[in-house]
Amino acid sequence: MEDIIQKYQKKKRKNTLAIIFTSLALAIGFNFYVHNSEVGKMVKWSVFDIEQNTTQSSDLYLTIENNLLSIKSAKNISNVKSVSVSLVYNSENVDIKNSFLEMDDWELSEISNNPWYKTFLITFSHNRNIQVWENFFNLVVEKENISLTESINLTQATFVDSEDKLFALSTSGVQY
């Protein structure tokens, strides 16, 4: 006489395996179908495919390339009379050598020159419009220990408009 419980457990195991393999086959088939369609080309399939875009999350952001730290604007800023920016960095490994602007008719003042915290005030001779993605302030930076990754943060940024109203800008940082 056959044991009904063993027969039931074998059948249950077979059904479970069949469901698992059918689900796997359907998932793989659906993946290939969607991946090769027009909709699939617009979908990001992996975390590695997603580009980090910090430029749109803040009004002013930093980029660095070949020891040139650039402050760029992610928004149109109109009738700017002056801009104040503050940077925080590890002064034991990072050194700010030089600063310059891409624009004409400006005056640069270094308000704070602590070893790890610098504040710059950029005053324009006449009101200026800063365009989206415009690179308007550059700093030449150097690292003593190149193998270490350092953070440089734009911690505070404000601008004064033509009516002498003060506006705070959101900021971000960069890994160097």
In CATH, the architecture of 54-175 is: Sandwich (2.60)
Q: What is the pTM of this model?
A: 0.60
Task: In the chain, list all ranges with CATH 2.60.40.680.
Answer: 54-175
Q: What is the pLDDT of residue 2?
A: 65
- Note whether 59 and 169 are within 8 A (CB): yes
E-state strands within the chain: 60-65, 68-73, 77-88, 94-101, 106-113, 117-130, 135-143, 151-161, 166-169, 173-175
Residues of the chain with pLDDT under 50: 47-55
| Joined tokens for residue 12 | 């249950």
pLDDT of 55: 40
CA distance 59 to 70: 14
Coil vs helix vs strand at 108: strand
Pick from 175, 137, 171: nearest CA to 58: 171
Separation CA 70–CA 159 (nearest Å): 17
What's the pLDDT score for residue 30? 83
Looking at this protein, which amino acid is placed at residue 76? Answer: N
Q: Which residues contact 105 (CB under 8 A, 6 or more apart)?
A: 124, 125, 126
d(CA 40, CA 18): 28
